[in-house]
Chain A
Amino acid sequence: MNLAPALHGALALALAPLLLGVVSRTKAFVAGRIGQPLLQPYHDLRKLLRKGAVYSRTTTWVFRLGPVVGLAGLLAATTLVPFAGSRALWAFQGDFVLLVYLLGLARFFTVVAALDTGSSFEGMGASREVTFAVLVEPALLVGLAALARMTGSLSLSTMLSGVTVEAWKAAAPALALLAATFLAVFVAENGRIPVDDPTTHLELTMIHEVMVLDHGGVDLAFILYGAALKLWLLGALLVGIAVPLRCGHLWLDGAAAIAGMVALAVLTGLIESSMARLRLIHVPQLLVGAGVLSVLALILSLR
């Protein structure tokens, strides 16, 4: 029996928070600070899991259910994403559609939990979240369609293992456009600069962070861990396309992919250090741009 998928799943669960640490450490380095320890996200999670809770009297069970469904959706989605060119833990025809819609489910419940507080701040975040999701989802699905067309397959595992060095040689422009699309999707879905700023929630520019303003303790731990998993799984998608180095050896391929993930985290940190958040009215332009890139990639693959 092939143990690689299970191993990769365990890797995702264990290493996802590390990416957050790498990002913040990179930002600290560029800013000339020492920064927090690499393992700080793990400490944060442990601290939060040991806390009690405060719930607003306005809220109902929907508020308590939000983080649970959010994390469950992302955990289920993690089983669908292949890593290092091997098979995903759970693969079937059309699994990528389920992946996109599981992310949608997690979003749905995060948004209604935010609306449950009756706070205008969280309403604002919720409204913006669904707005940008409307533009991100088509970009992601059309991008995946281009990948399906290029590899002639309907399952993420075979789609990503079909992206090899030879494939890059044959269709470099289309794959580069795809990688650019997925980078934009990665940034937008994870609430990173230039779309959203994960370090602030008290400005009028807030999106994701402000939706979870009222969550604390165990609930917030679930949300943080879910965010880390989302970073990992969308990163794995991007790295699967951008780093096609595969030799068939479990450990070597795994090491290359992990190196790719860390490089992606460093890149995220560098982007966050070198540019400011876009004004909200400019964010749709970026996301529509990503959608156009994915359509271009598809047109190139249609030849």
Chain B
Amino acid sequence: MLLLLLAISVLFLAGVAALVAPSAPRWGTIVGAGGAVAGCLAGLIPAVTILLGRPASSFQVAWDVPYGTFFVELDALSAFFLLPVFGLSALAAIYGAEYMRTGRDSGAQAASWFFFNILVASMALVVIARNGILFLVAWEVMALSSFFLVTLDDKERSVRDAGWTYLVASHLGTAFLLVLFILLGRDSGSLDFDQFAPGSSVSLLFILAVIGFGTKAGFVPFHVWLPEAHPAAPSHVSAVMSGVMIKMGIYGLLRTVILLGSLPRWCGWLLIAVGVSSGVLGVLFALAQHDLKRLLAYHSVENIGIIALGLGLGLVGITVGSSSLAVLGFAGGLLHVLNHAVFKGLLFLGAGAVLHGTDTREIDELGGLLKRMPWTGLAFLTGAVAISGLPPLNGFVSEFLIYLGAFGGLSSLETSAAVPALAVIAALALIGGLATACFTKAFGVVFLGTSRGDHGARAHEPGLAMQLPMQFLAAGCVLMSLLSPILVPGLSPVVRDVSGLSVDAVSAEIKQGARALWGANACALGLCALVAILFGLRRRLLSNRKVVDGVTWDCGYGEPSPKMQYTASSFAQPLTDLFQLVLRARRNVSPVRGFFPRAASFETETPDVCRDRLYEPIFHGIGRGLSAFRWLQHGQVQLYVLYIAVTLLVLLVWKLGET
């Protein structure tokens, strides 16, 4: 516990030091990034020891803030979420040390390190806070520090808009959390978590948590800020926001589930419904994007959906009394939290390297980068296979656990529990196919073929500080899959906390899951061996034969140009057409006309359907309604003071009248 608090202070102090460091930009970076890495490494130690079986430890002192004490605790669930917080942030800090050097003045760099370190420290504090006020303060600091990171390049209009959307969405979500904590602490008069009494309004509290924490996690339809804010931030910050920060929403939801105790059956159904809509809509909108980072941001919505599917299955399992459904669902969802941090972090860092090397995020301008950026390309391909949930990488492992739980529930339980399991299976299958389509598109169009614009000509590999974190995460994708049968039993204390099942029940079911993973892993190892053997065979067969270079077969047309290649938009077109009902993509076409056509153009744009059809009408309505009160607001400070005085007077009279 002490080491953890020390680590958080190191992060905080390093952030402040980066801000006040001498104006030579080097110093800000060294202090900021170095402090972040040191703090993260120190913080990882207590987290790992707790997960290895040390009992939970807590720290509680009285403070001047009303309603409770300064109360922090490190238990298995907190320790589990600290792994991505510290692990990915340390790698992102190393990456950022090089990434931030180009194109920004030293003031912006120093500010970025200040907010980055504050962000990491506040996330760690969110996870260990056990007092409502402490939690909300940390939550707010997390939101604000990430807001300032999103708006770092605030000279661009799109970045300012994104920051504004993020700020509004974030605070609307927090408003629900405020109500949640007040209701939880109403009976005992204390906001310490161990004093909370859910009382009779469990359903209301659960819905408040789903909305409040779901806004941060990016559940559809509360996700609208996510595809705006994540692309606008610098890439290493996008990696942390997408890989870790949105998981704070998942953490909050799980913590609430623990605090609420037993939940009615529809809660699991609700989470599964949220998971299906987030997963499917997230990947569909990702498919329609042609901005690389925006595509990745929508994929975070999809992966949050997969996590929600697992957790929802777990909740259903508890209410129907099936420990296998509960344990495999929770374990799969939790493992996906970790896996997603690894491969989404990797993909955002890879996208950052592409942006760094080519100055564009527009997929349709790129192509053929694998030749100029072989290592980045290899890492990105690893991440792409992992996020598509394909063996032998880690994305498959967590989806496999969720599948296993769902199939087990389907084949053994009565109809009412089998239907949600069926929904999970069908949704995961659809998401898997769409994710493959999306990432063959992203990798294929960006890294393969030939360059479609002139950006590719300047492309170059980033330096070692950016390269190493990517390769480390790529290795993580492989290792977390190969070692999964050993890692999954490590989840049992976390699953036990969340599900409330007994030690024996959890470990028995986890053992089942691990045994199935051994089976899958043996096959995956066989697959790797087969790839090696076949590659060797191919090389041997071709070793003393004629192997010549040529041009791509052009079907008789002698002048193929890079512009004729399939683009991201054309690759996804059959699928976006198929799902046009949901996506509502807009097309601007000036078609080819006449025998001697002049200029023709084609452009597609897929705005977020929730933003356009749900929030815009609501916010416009509110705006119109409130404009009736505009006469109150005229910029004269004296009158404003008068308003305040009158209000106070009215309140005073009202209160006096009561007594």
- Give A contacts to B, CB under 8 Å: 49, 51-60, 62, 64-65, 68-69, 71-73, 75-76, 79-80, 90-95, 97-98, 100-102, 104-105, 107-108, 111-112, 115-121, 123-124, 126-128, 130-131, 133-138, 140-142, 145, 148-149, 151-154, 202, 213-214, 217-219, 222, 280, 284, 295, 298, 302
Q: A52-B542, A107-B436, A137-B433 are in contact. Are A148 and B411 (CB under 8 A)?
A: yes
Min distance, Cβ A138 to any Cβ of chain B, angstroms: 4
Q: Are B578 and A131 in contact (CB under 8 A)?
A: yes
Contact check, B542 vs A218: say whether CB atoms are below 8 A apart. Answer: yes
Asked if B479 is at the interface (CB within 8 A of a chain A CB), the reply is no
In the complex, are the beta carbons of A118 and B426 less than 8 A apart?
no
B620 at the interface (CB under 8 A from A): no
Q: Is B571 an interface residue (CB 8 A)?
A: yes
**Contact (Cβ within 8 A) A123 B411:** no
Contacts A123-B570, A134-B575, A137-B432 given; indicate if A142 touches B425 (C-beta within 8 A). yes
Asked if residues A130 and B448 are in contact (CB atoms below 8 Å), the reply is: no
Contact among A72, A127, A145, A298 with B573 in the assembled complex (CB-CB below 8 Å): A127
Report chain B residues within 8 Å CB of A127: 566, 570-574
Distance, CA A76 to CA B419, complexed state (A): 32
Task: Please report the total number of B residues contacting A with Cβ < 8 Å.
Answer: 84
- State the Cβ distance, B371 to closest chain A Cβ, in Å: 6
Q: Which of B438-446, B488-496, B590-598 lies at the binding interface?
A: B438-446
Q: Name A110's closest neighbour in chain B (CB-CB).
A: B440
A128 near B574 with CB under 8 A, answer: yes
Are the CB atoms of B530 and A119 closer together than 8 Å? no
Q: How far is the CA of A136 from the CA of B434 in the complex (A)?
A: 11
Which 9 pairs across A and B sit closest by C-beta, in order of nearness?
A92-B519, A123-B566, A115-B444, A118-B449, A134-B433, A72-B530, A130-B437, A52-B545, A52-B546
Which residues of the partner chain A approach B391 to less than 8 Å between Cβ atoms?
98, 101-102, 105
Given contacts A72-B531, A123-B570, contact A95 B519 (CB under 8 A): yes
Partner among A118, A136, A218, A222 whose Cβ is within 8 Å of the Cβ of B565: A118
Q: How far is the CB of A117 from chain B (nearest CB, A)?
A: 5
In whole angstroms, how far apart are the Cα atoms of A133 and B436 in the complex? Answer: 9
Whether the pair A138, B429 counts as a contact (CB closer than 8 A) is yes
Given the known interface contacts A52-B546, A137-B433, A302-B418, the answer about A145 and B448 at a Cβ–Cβ threshold of 8 Å is no
**What residues of A have a CB within 8 angstroms of the CB of B609 in the complex?**
none
List A contacts of B527 (CB < 8 A): 72-73, 76, 102, 105
Instruction: Tell me how far the C-beta of A195 lies from the nearest C-beta in chain B, rounded to whole angstroms.
Output: 14
Q: How far is the CB of A70 from chain B (nearest CB, A)?
A: 10
CA distance in complex: A69, B412 (Å): 36
Q: Are B565 and A119 in contact (CB under 8 A)?
A: yes
- Of A60, A79, A280, most B-chain CB atoms within 10 Å: A60
State which of A108, A128, A134, A214 has its C-beta within 8 Å of the C-beta of B553.
A214
Give Cα distance in the complex from A222 to B539, angstroms: 13
Cα A111 to Cα B530 with chains together (Å): 20
Compute how far the CA of A107 lies from the CA of B433 in the bound complex, rounded to whole angstroms.
10
Residue contact B552 to A60, C-beta cutoff 8 Å: no
Tell me the residues in window 510-530 of chain B with beta carbons closer than 8 Å to chain A beta carbons: 512, 515-516, 518-520, 522-524, 526-527, 530
The 18 sampled A-B contact pairs (Cβ below 8 Å) are A52-B548, A64-B538, A69-B531, A72-B531, A79-B526, A92-B520, A97-B400, A97-B404, A112-B448, A115-B445, A118-B562, A127-B573, A130-B436, A130-B441, A151-B411, A154-B407, A222-B538, A302-B415
Among the listed B368, B418, B428, B520, which residue makes an inter-chain contact with A58, where contact means beta carbons less than 8 Å apart? B368
For the complex, give the distance between the alpha carbons of A79 and B522 in Å: 11
**Residue in B412, B524, B578 whose CB lies within 8 Å of A152:** B412
A109 nearest CB across to chain B (Å): 9
- Taking CB atoms, residues of chain B closer than 8 Å to A126 are 440, 444, 566, 571
**What are the residues of chain B within 8 A of A151 when measuring CB–CB?**
411
Q: Which residues of A contact B437 (CB under 8 A)?
A: 130-131, 133-134
Given contacts A58-B552, A217-B542, 4 further A-B contacts (CB under 8 A): A55-B550, A126-B444, A142-B422, A214-B552
- Inter-chain contact B574/A131, CB cutoff 8 Å: yes
List the B side residues contacting A111 at CB < 8 Å.
436, 440, 444
B367 in contact with A118 (CB, 8 Å): yes
Selecting from B34-42, B173-181, B381-389, the interface stretch reads B381-389
Nearest chain B CB to A35's CB is how many angstroms away? Answer: 28
A57 to B450, CA, bound (A): 10
Chain A neighbourhood of B447, CB < 8 A: 62
Residue from A111, A118, A137 with most neighbouring chain B CB atoms (10 Å): A118
Write out the residue numbers on chain B whose beta carbons fall within 8 Å of the beta carbon of A140. 429
CA distance A72 to B403 in the complex (A): 24
Task: Give the CA-CA distance A118 to B552 in the complex, in Å.
Answer: 8
Kindly identify which residue among A53, A95, A117, A137 contacts B552, using a CB–CB cutoff of 8 Å: A117
Q: How far is the CB of B533 from chain A (nearest CB, A)?
A: 8
- Across the interface, which residues of B come within 8 angstroms of A138, CB to CB? 426, 429-430, 433
**Cβ–Cβ contact A118 & B575, under 8 A:** no
Cβ–Cβ < 8 Å partners of B519 in chain A: 90-95
Whether A137 lies near B367 (C-beta < 8 A) is: no
Q: What residues of A have a CB within 8 angstroms of the CB of B422 in the complex?
A: 142, 145, 298
Closest residue of chain A to B564 (Cβ to Cβ) is A120
A75 to B524, CA, bound (A): 11
Measured between beta carbons, the chain A residues less than 8 angstroms from B385 are 105, 108
- Report which of A115, A213, A295 forms a contact with B449, defined as CB distance below 8 A: A115
Is the pair B425, A145 in contact by a Cβ cutoff of 8 Å? Answer: yes
Residues of chain B lying within 8 A (CB to CB) of residue A49: 541
Q: Check B65 for interface membership: any CB of A closer than 8 A.
A: no
A53 to B368, CA, bound (A): 22
Closest to B554 in A: A119
Query: Residue of B at shortest CB range from A118?
Result: B449
Beyond A119-B560, A131-B574, whether A60 also contacts B566 by CB under 8 A is no
Distance in angstroms between the alpha carbons of A52 and B422 in the assembled complex: 49
Which residues of chain B have C-beta atoms less than 8 A from A100's C-beta?
A: 429
Whether the Cβ atoms of B523 and A202 lie closer than 8 Å is: no
When A54-B548, A56-B550, A116-B444 are in contact, do A219 and B429 touch as well, CB less than 8 Å?
no
Chain B residues with CB under 8 Å of A71's CB are: 530, 534
Q: Is B205 an interface residue (CB 8 A)?
A: no
Q: Does B21 lie at the interface of the complex (its beta carbon under 8 Å from any beta carbon of A)?
A: no
Chain A residues, CB < 8 A from B554: 119
Cβ of B67 within 8 Å of any chain A Cβ, yes or no, is no
- Residues on the A chain within 8 Å of B516, using CB: 92-94
Contacts of B530 in A (CB 8 A): 71-72, 75-76
Tell me if B191 counts as interface (CB < 8 A to partner A): no
Contact present for A62 and B448 (CB under 8 Å): yes
Given A111-B444, A123-B565, A94:B541 Cβ within 8 A:
no
Are B440 and A58 in contact, CB atoms less than 8 angstroms apart? no
Q: Answer yes or no: B408 CB below 8 A from chain A CBs.
A: yes
- Among residues of A, the one whose C-beta sits closest to the C-beta of B427 is A138
CB distance from B622 to the nearest CB of A (A): 39
Q: Which of B367, B434, B553 has the largest count of A CB atoms less than 10 A from its CB?
A: B553
Distance of A218 Cα from B425 Cα, bound (Å): 38
| A68 to B535 alpha-carbon distance, docked (Å) | 6
Partner of A121, one of B415, B439, B555: B555
Contact B547 A55 (CB under 8 A): yes
Chain B residue, CB-CB nearest to A91: B519
Nearest CB of chain B from residue A121's CB, rounded to whole Å = 6
How many angstroms from the CA of A218 to the CA of B545 in the assembled complex? Answer: 11
Return the chain A residue nearest B370 by Cβ: A60
Across the interface, which residues of A come within 8 angstroms of B426, CB to CB?
138, 141-142, 295
Q: How far is the CA of A98 from the CA of B381 in the complex (A)?
A: 20
Q: Which residues of A contact B612 (CB under 8 A)?
A: none
Instruction: Judge whether B410 is part of the interface by a CB distance below 8 angstroms.
Output: yes
Which residues of A have CB within 8 Å of B553?
A: 56, 117, 119, 121, 213-214
